[in-house]
Each structure stands twice: as structure tokens, then as C-alpha cells.
Structure 1
Amino acid sequence: MKIHLLALGAGLAVATPALAEDLMTHLANPAEQVLQTVDYANTRYSKLDQINAGNVKNLQVAWTFSTGVLRGHEGSPLVVGNMMYVHTPFPNIVYALDLDHEAKIVWKYEPKQDPSVIPVMCCDTVNRGLAYSDNAIILHQADTTVVSLDAKSGKVNWSVVNGDPKKGETNTATVLPVKDKIIVGISGGEFGVQCHVTAYDAKTGKKVWRGYSIGPDDQMLVDPEKTTHLGKPVGKDSSTKTWEGDQWKTGGGCTWGWFSYDPKLDLMYYGSGNPSTWNPKQRPGDNRWSMTVWARNPDTGVAKWVYQMTPHDEWDYDGINEMILTDQKVGGKDTPLLTHFDRNGFGYTLNRATGELLVAEKFDPVVNWASKVDMDKGSKTYGRPLVAEAYSPERTGEDETTAGICPGAIGAKNQQPAAYSHETRLFYVPTNHICMSYEPFHVTYTTGVPFVGATVGLQPPPGETRTGAFVAWDGVAGRIAWSNPEPFSVWSGALATAGGVVFYGTLEGYLKAVDAATGRELYRFKTPSGVVGNVMTYRHRGRQYVAVLSGVGGWAGIGLAAGLTDPADGAGAVGGYAALSDYTALGGQLTVFALPER
């Protein structure tokens, strides 16, 4: 079977809006990075090859930049032309740096946000970055304000409020520009928010459509007869009838992850998160459509197909991780594929045109909450995980602890995005090698108050001390090609390049470069703080650079980022990553690397 990279511009109609034409031009230029995902296919692959497996050992620090903010620095800078755009965690400052003049600050945007939003944010005050669209830089702030900034001056073109922090609605994610729209999600699953995806007009900020993850068909923008799940129409009231009473109104299903887009099929893809509460006993049913892969038309928002990975979630295995789009020959026929590495520990491959499930295999061998996903199309449980009773908190009961569940609530992989290489046809996956204890308890919903209902403790797998690995995955065979163990979870996004090198960062603060084919380490450099940012590369005046934000934080680093000491805080992360403080401290810096000038 042969895999090809998805052509970014394939299938764009002649009548494509000028906004899309401008973005597509920039996306086609490997010297730049104008989206956090690198391309619409979410491959995080760069065609630049000046830095390669033979010379990457010679990398040196070219320059650095302090953001002036502590806490977790997720996402990456953008490079558009001669300008670099750098963002920070809350308060979400944006810097425009002139690469032609020693990264001089051309403009700075610092939003005035109410600090009361900070305690409402789950798992640190991170932001996963900016996006470019038609001479504008788009920022989705922590307080859910979506802002369009003039790329040259930093002047506000428009702003719109996407949610209400007083209800628990916040934002940590980037956005997706598609044609003449800006697509955004929302956070708040731990506060009982009914979550959604929304499209705004890229020129004016006017709301175009909103599709909820959970609720009545009209709110979800689902057609009961045409929207499918595993090849069959979802039917009327597909979501509400899987919830008890009106629990769907506080059901979660949040959309704080990554978006991808196929121009040829004209479909956008993303995942929805956990159902609320974390106590499964309080919400009987499959709780659709939380924990679901969604395929929507970006113009109307109408869903073409859905696939629920973890029905009636009992473990907080949010389904928001990225959807990576590739093309593959299956049985001699070109097939459009979507590959997704879920928090639940299974790597999924689906036909992205139809939603047909093709592969579902464990990408961490210690995963034990389910024995497998049923792939028998004739079975009543087709497409569902076969849950191991010993690791079901619901069966154990409220106020009782279920121990040894793998992975932990933090997931076998969280939001840190994987990459895909056209040369090796492998996916490169930053993972968490971690398990948990889980104790659900009864909780009552109150607007704006945490609606969690579980106490979680995180631990390494039995007999081990490490909690991470960097994994190369064969998406066709559904198996690990090679795996590099790491002492801590790998919370940095990966980057694959045409030079045969894959880059990633570590929680202790290392930028690492490994051989794409073998995983052999080729280079490492200790940055000032733990790396939870996503590695990026660009070319300026003929020279290739690699850049990464360091600043420990995110869920894995929340203990350091927020000064927490109780092992149970941060949903168990403080205890699970207590040793991290021996290796790194808070920071907020961009480090840029290049080969020595000749």
C-alpha cells in the first residue's frame, strides 16, 4: 500500500474566495508557516531539507526571544514573509518581530482580560497559537474573544465573544481559517458546558453558523437521514436519546483541540471531548456525541459523518486530538484517510470521505481499559471498544477506587500533535506512558462551578518509572515501527522534515532531533525551561531555521506552572510528575536554531 501526502490545493474550485487563495499561496510556500498545523492536512511536515540527518548535529542557537510571561508555552510562532508572530499564555500577548532587522518588535498586542478567567481554565493558562488569514493574524483569547489583527500594524480589525467564562467557557486552542470563514472551538467540559464549533466571517467577525457536539439535531447541525455513523444514518434524536433527561444541556463534548481540512472533499475534521461529569454513574447511556470524530461542511456546518470512539466514557479520554489526512491505495484504489491518536490509547484510521473504520490498534502496549475495538462489521458491538470490567470505574462504584487503569486521564497522548513524513510513511507520536487510579463521586451541577465528580491519581505503569515515549507508527499496519523511551511524557508537538529529521521537545527542556527512519538521536540541546511548545521550521534569506517555545506547563507541568504541591491537584498530574521540578523551572522563551553560516 502506498501513502501520499494530501495535496493542499487539490480540488479548490475556480470560484474560491480571494481569502482562501491568499492563504493557499502562503501554505504552498515551505519557507513560511501560517497555520499551527503547518498544512490543512495537519501533517506537521516541512519540505525544507537544508537541515538534514547528516548535518543536524551541527545546529547552533541563532537567536532567542523572551516572551515576558511564565506558565506553559504551547503552540508555535508563525512566519509570514519577513515577519514572525509569537504568542504567549494568558494574557495572550502577541508580538510581531521583523526577521530582516534582528527580530525587532514591530508591534505588540496585549489584550486586557479579566484575571478571573484563570481559575476557570482547565490544566494551565496555555494557548495553542495564532493563525494567518488574508493579511490578518487571528487570536482566540482565553476569555473566548476572537480577535483579527492587521498583520502589518497590529490594529484590531474586529473582535467577537465566543463564550462566557462565568459559565465555565474558556479557550486554549488555535483557530482554522477556511475560505472566507474562521472556525473556532470552546473549552469547558469540566464545568458542564454544552460545547460547540462556530464559524465566523473572516472579514467582519459575524457569526455564520454554530454546531453543538451534544443536543437536538438542529443544534448539532445533524441530518438524521444523511449524517452517518459507521455507514448508517444516525437517525432522529441520535444524541438526546443517549442521555438521561436533559443532562445533555450540561454534557460537555468540548472542542479545544485541532482542526484539519480537505479542500477536495470540502470537509473539516475535529474531535469532541469528554462528557460531563467524570462520574459515569450519573449519566447513563452512550452520551453521544462526546468523544467523537466529526466531519462537517465548513460553509454550512452540517455534519456528513461522525464516529464515537469511547461511548459512555468513564476515564476522561477526550477525543480532541488532531486528525491527520493522507491518501493511500487500498486494494488498488486511492482512498482518502484520516489517522487519529486518541487519548484512549488507540490509533484509528478511517476513510475520511465516508467515516468507515479501517484500523483501531493500541499505540501504547500498556493500554488495558479495553481489550480491543470490535472490527467485525457483522457484530452488534462493531466499532466499539470492548471494555475490561476490572478497569471500569462505574462497575467499581461511587466513592470506590479503581486502580491500575492504563492510560491515565491525561491520555496515552494528549493535545501535543503528531507529525507524518512523506518519505518514511510513518507517523511520529509524542506520548504519555502513564496509568491512574480513579474514584468517582456524586456531584451536583452549579453554573460556573467545577462539575468533575472524580478524584484521579497518575502513576507510571507497574514496575516502571518512565512516563513517556516518542513513537513512530505505521498507520497502514496499525503497529509501532520504533519507540524511544523518555523519562517524562513528551508534551511537545513533533515536526517531520524532508531532510529525514524529526524534531520534538521534552518536559525537562531538551530540543531533540532523531533520524526519521530509525529513531536514532542525532542532536539535543537544553533550552531554559521545559518544552511543551510545538517545533517549527522556516527559511529566511536562504537559511533554514528551527524554532521552539520553551516554558514548562500544560497539564503534565501544571504543578510547576501553578505552584501546586498537593499530589491530587491537576487531576493527579502534580503527583504523577513530581520529579520534574528536579530538572527544570518556569520560563518563557523562544529559541531559534540554524546551521553555522559558511
Structure 2
Amino acid sequence: MKKGILGLAAGLMLSAAVPAMANESLTQAASDAKQWVMQLGNYAGTRYSELTGITKENVGKLQVAWTFSTGVLRGHEGSPLVIGDVMYVHTPFPNNVYALDLNADGKILWRYHPEQNPDVIGVMCCDTVNRGLAFADGMIFLSQADTTLVALDAKTGAVKWSVQNGDPAKGETSTATPLVVKDKVFVGISGGEYGVRGHMTAYNIKDGSLAWRAYSTGPDAEMLVDPEKTMVLGKPIGADSSLKSWEGDQWQIGGGTTWGWTTYDPELNLIYYGTGNPSTWNPSQRPGDNKWSMTIMARDADTGMAKWFYQKTPHDEWDFDGVNENILVDKEIDGTMRKLLVNFDRNGFGYTLDRETGELLVAEKYDPAVNWATEVVMDPNSDQYGRPQVVAEYSTEQNGEDVNSTGICPAALGSKDQQPATYSPETGLFYVPTNHVCMDYEPFRVSYTAGQPYVGATLSMFPAPDSHGGMGNFIAWDATKGEIVWSLPEQFSVWSGAMATAGGVVFYGTLEGYLKAVDAETGKELYKFKTPSGIIGNVFTYEHGGKQYVGVLSGVGGWAGIGLAAGLTNSNDGLGAVGGYAALSDYTALGGQLTIFALPD
């Protein structure tokens, strides 16, 4: 992340001289709590800050320090990066980038305005969002909507190299943030609603050349799977595991896209990410488990070879994409210290696994409204080990094509979508922004045409019944017990990324536009401020000039806000979200603004 205003420029030149040490330099930068150098805060994805200037006692005195208009409407996900004296801000399509001088009230040092074909907007599933920038070796990395991965000089904004990661004519787009590990930058692909075959790809930082690509579906060689060494719940995956789970060659248009977050364990040298829904949304058209969609994947960062897989929702019938972040923590469980991975899946189950072996340790519902499955089988001796037990009433395939299955909880956007959770080592708890939403789901037969929607279902969404009447909760979760510790009801889904701090405060944003601060131990609300537009961005913090700042991007949109963002009014549009979130227009409007908060002098 950068800047070049002087001392940091020397550090950038040093890191640029030794690209093989990018991992170490980025780790060092992330260990400096004064900066915010990765979208998830660190390789482990905890989104935790050690800064203590803002505490439970004084957070109520926060004031707006300064603001910056991005000049772009639509949904603003992700967050800026802060390196030294420079802040790097991104926007939704057309994916502009700004470098702001923190020593001069956010003066624009440089700007990057890419030229992209606006036709790509038409093949972006759920708004024109982008989840942010990455940094390493004196470069800023941006994955544009048209799948161009570009490396920008952090000091000047000049393009150092670019590479095309996909083909928008086939429905391939990009919304995810890249992740840098060692001398490689990893990037996924979007387009599951267009029959895109998902993959994770590694490019060499030096020149953008291809290092490796691992597909989510298909032959073992193309998935970078060793049938004897890649493990699934403690057993070898076996030959042709994906091919055997699809009918014919459906795996070629099988989805499993990789538009979520990636984390990394330097000791194990493993990256972790999730794969999305199988294509089409009509389950009767794709019999089988549809491997390896809906799967947590652990891969060697150098070679891409798969270490272990865990499929959370075999033969997905509800669009419960499995791309949510995998948070890495070391904790004691059942009396033994374990290297854990914690995942809050769209399907409503919170999973805790051993991140070295892929052993499943905990799988419990983190929203009581979840009804599509009763439980996940935890007995290793059972042939159902690790599988959710589907309730027939809510099986969209069993009910049949052109049959409207009603009252399924959660809705397709899940008990949590991509909005990242946070973890505090002080409390040992995870803080999770959630959706409290259910749906009616009617599958219908659809044919595949490259570049055309390949959905095959009509949805409607609504608040979970028999509860507080709202569409969201912000919860504290014990991942070793699989229990909610406390829960705060919200009128709308909580679609912003949360952040915990050593000051005992947890921050999150709401779709109405509020930045909120709560007590990490009790959940008591300590502060709120309504920003100009709904918040689907991720809260971040940094220190500059001896003062701690907290910031967040406002700009309503994303799947939940697609009606506002794209001007849609039909209740079934936006893959069912427009009707469910129709009332949101009574509380906020489109915008694109960065708001920075600080305590008064």
C-alpha cells in the first residue's frame, strides 16, 4: 500500500527490490496497526485492529473528520487501503482509483480511470460492486469488472502491467479483491448466473504472467487435485471426484465461481477460499452433488495443488453460494489447541474446521430461523458425515419444477452474504453481520447460451416470520461452542463488513446508512451516525499524526440494494431482492462517499 511521501517511499523501493519477499513485507505492514493494508485487515481475515485510541469510554464522542466523494453511484463495497501517508480509494464500475494525501486533507495525488466497455454492466449479477484493492512491492492491484487484473505504480498510478482473467462475452466478470502472497497475486472470477466455470488463478507479481489456475469443477488435472493426497473429511478425494458428480459434461458450465474472499496461513503455506453455486439454479437439471461447487478449498500457495476440500451444500437447491470469508484463528477446542478456520456460510450454518486437515469440528445454525436443513451430521462413521439433512418441504427439487416452494429460510442471499465478519482475541468472539430473510423459490427449465443468464428460478424475499420483524441481526458468536452470545436486531440486513478493535469496540454499518459502534462484550450500542447513503462497505481504521481514525464507504447497492442501485421496481427483479427490500427507499438514496471519523482534539 504505499505512499510515497518520503519515508514510506524508501520502504516501497526496498520491497520492490526483493519481490520474492512480498509475503514478508506485507506481513510486516499488516502488523503495523497504524495502517490498513489488506481488505480483511490481515492474512487471517480477522478484521481486528490493535489500535486503542478509540475506546468504549470515548467512542460516543466521535465526529466526522473529513469526507471524500467518489463521483460514482451504485453499491460501494470493500474499503480503502492506508499505507503510510496515503489512502487508496476504489469505486464500483468503472472502477476508478484515487490516491489521497493524508497530510493535505485528502488531496488527490493521482487517479486511475480505466476504460472499460460498459456492456460488462449487463452481465454483472448483483450490482456493479468491487470489493477493493490489494498492495505489494510498490504496486496497487485492481481486478476490474471486465476481469482485467491491473498493477498500478503506488507512487504515480501508472500501469505497470495488466492481464485479462476472463471473457465478459461469456458472462465472466470480476468483483473480488485480489490477494498477494509471496511473489504471486491471486484472483477469482464471477459469473455463476451465466454458467461460468469457476477458477482461482495465480499471476506472477513481476510481470503478470500466469503461474497456475485451479478450476472448481472438472478433471483432476484441471482442478489441481491429487486423488490420493487431496483430502475430504479425512479421506482421499479419489479419482474424477468432480466428473462423477455431474451428468455428462455439465461441469463445463457448472458454476462454482470464486467471487468471495481469500485468506492465507503462512506457516502452512495454504490459501483458503470458497466456491459458489452450481449452475443452473434449477436443481433438477443437474443431478448429483455438483462437486466442487459450494466448497471450502485449501491449496498450496506456490503450486495451487489442493490440500483439502469441504463441500458445505452438496447439490445446492437454493443458491447458497459458498464464497464467504474463512477466518483463521488459533483456539483451544475440546481441551486441545487447534489451528482453526471459521466460516459463516450463506446456508445459515457456522462452521469451525481444523485448517490444516479440513476436519469438521463444529456446524451449527447462526440464525434460529434457518429451516431448510435440520442439522449437519457430525459422526465420522456415518455415510452422511458432514452433510446437511435437508427438510423435504423446503427441497426445491423434490417439490418439482414450476412449483413454488414457500417459506424457505434463509433466502438465496443467505444468512450472511459476502459482508465479512470480524474476530476479537480480547473476547474470543466473532462478530457477524447477518441477514434474517426467507424466500419463496420456483425453479423452471432453462437452456444455456454463452453470455446469457442461466438462472432458472423465480424468487421472492421477505423478513423471517415469528421474530422481530426486521431483516437483519448483528451477532456475537462463539465458534468453539457454535452458539450465539448476543444478537442485535436490525430493520434491514446488515450488509457491511464489521471491525473489532483493541479498544473493546466493534463497528458495523447498516443499509439505512448508519455507522454503529457497540460494546464487544455486551453488544450495547455506544455510537451511531447516519452517513449520506446506505452502507455496504467495510469499516476500517488507521492512525495518522498520532490520532486514530475510523472510516467507511457509503453507497447503497449490492444484491440487497439492487432495486435502488439499478432503478428496478418489479418485486421479482434483482433475483428476488427488489420486493424484499422495497422499503429501503424510504430511508436512503444512492450515493458514493467516504466518511472519516475521529475524536475531537
TM-score category by the smaller chain? over 0.9
Structure 1 distance, partners of 2:50, 2:19, is: 25
Match of residue 160 from structure 1: 163
Match of residue 347 from structure 2: 344
How far off its partner does 1:25 sit? Answer: 1.9
Structure 2 distance, partners of 1:19, 1:323, is: 22
Structure 2 distance, partners of 1:591, 1:203, is: 34
Match of residue 199 from structure 1: 202
Match of residue 29 from structure 2: 26
Matched ranges for 1:539-554 at <5 A: 539-554=543-558
Partner of 2:119, secondary structure, is: helix
Match of residue 11 from structure 1: none
How far off its partner does 1:23 sit? Answer: 1.3
Partner of 1:572, secondary structure, is: helix
Matched ranges for 1:164-563 at <5 A: 164-464=167-467, 465-563=469-567
Match of residue 564 from structure 1: 568
Structure 2 distance, partners of 1:232, 1:64, is: 53
CA RMSD of superposed structures (Å): 0.9
Matched, 1:595 2:599: yes
Structure 2 distance, partners of 1:207, 1:47, is: 36
8 A Cα contact 2:276 2:322, kept in partner: yes
Amino acid at match of 1:103: G
Structure 2 distance, partners of 1:444, 1:526, is: 45
Match of residue 116 from structure 1: 119
Match of residue 7 from structure 1: none
1:233-272 residue CA offsets vs partner (Å, 9 max, x unmatched): 0100000100000000000000000000000011000000
Structure 1 distance, partners of 2:224, 2:502, is: 40
How far off its partner does 1:332 sit? Answer: 4.1
Structure 2 distance, partners of 1:168, 1:90, is: 16
1:1-33 residue CA offsets vs partner (Å, 9 max, x unmatched): xxxxxxxxxxxxxx9922222212211110001
Amino acid at match of 1:584: T
Structure 2 distance, partners of 1:40, 1:561, is: 31
8 A Cα contact 2:275 2:295, kept in partner: yes
Match of residue 8 from structure 1: none
Structure 1 distance, partners of 2:465, 2:597, is: 39
Amino acid at match of 1:373: V
Structure 2 distance, partners of 1:544, 1:461, is: 38
Match of residue 62 from structure 2: 59
Match of residue 101 from structure 2: 98
From the superposition, tell whether residues 53 and 336 of structure 1 become closer, same or farther in structure 2 (CA, over 3 Å).
same
Amino acid at match of 2:291: R
Structure 2 distance, partners of 1:270, 1:531, is: 25
- Where structure 2 has 5 or more consecutive residues not aligned to the other structure, the ranges are 1-17
Partner of 1:571, secondary structure, is: helix
Matched, 1:578 2:577: no
Amino acid at match of 1:560: L
1:395-450 residue CA offsets vs partner (Å, 9 max, x unmatched): 11000100000000010000000000010100000000000000000000001000
Match of residue 88 from structure 2: 85
8 A Cα contact 2:146 2:167, kept in partner: yes
- Where structure 1 has 5 or more consecutive residues not aligned to the other structure, the ranges are 1-14
Amino acid at match of 2:229: K
8 A Cα contact 2:19 2:137, kept in partner: no
1:497-545 residue CA offsets vs partner (Å, 9 max, x unmatched): 0000000000000000000000000000000000000000000011000
Structure 2 distance, partners of 1:348, 1:25, is: 30
Amino acid at match of 1:502: V
8 A Cα contact 2:333 2:480, kept in partner: no
Partner of 1:455, secondary structure, is: strand
Amino acid at match of 2:473: A
Partner of 2:575, secondary structure, is: coil
Structure 2 distance, partners of 1:333, 1:377, is: 19
Partner of 1:301, secondary structure, is: coil
Structure 2 distance, partners of 1:309, 1:538, is: 36
How far off its partner does 1:378 sit? Answer: 1.3
1:51-105 residue CA offsets vs partner (Å, 9 max, x unmatched): 0000000000000000000000000000000000000000000000000111100
Report how many residues are paired: 583
Amino acid at match of 2:472: G
From the superposition, tell whether residues 16 and 114 of structure 1 become closer, same or farther in structure 2 (CA, over 3 Å).
closer
Amino acid at match of 1:390: E
How far off its partner does 1:333 sit? Answer: 3.3
1:258-317 residue CA offsets vs partner (Å, 9 max, x unmatched): 000000011000000000000000000000000000000010000000000000000000
How far off its partner does 1:331 sit? Answer: 4.5
Match of residue 10 from structure 2: none
Structure 1 distance, partners of 2:351, 2:19, is: 32
Structure 1 distance, partners of 2:147, 2:271, is: 21
Match of residue 9 from structure 1: none
Amino acid at match of 2:45: N
Structure 2 distance, partners of 1:303, 1:20, is: 20
Match of residue 137 from structure 2: 134
Structure 1 distance, partners of 2:591, 2:157, is: 25
Amino acid at match of 1:30: A
8 A Cα contact 2:70 2:593, kept in partner: yes
Matched ranges for 1:68-79 at <5 A: 68-79=71-82
Structure 1 distance, partners of 2:334, 2:408, is: 38
Amino acid at match of 2:169: K
8 A Cα contact 2:559 2:574, kept in partner: yes
Partner of 2:25, secondary structure, is: helix
From 38, 42, 47, give the equivalent of 1:44: 47
How far off its partner does 1:329 sit? Answer: 2.3
TM-score (ref. length: structure 1) = 0.97
Structure 2 distance, partners of 1:21, 1:402, is: 51
How far off its partner does 1:377 sit? Answer: 1.2
How far off its partner does 1:462 sit? Answer: 2.1
How far off its partner does 1:463 sit? Answer: 3.9
Amino acid at match of 1:524: K
Partner of 2:298, secondary structure, is: strand
Query: Percent of aligned positions with the same letter in both sequences?
Result: 68
How far off its partner does 1:229 sit? Answer: 0.4
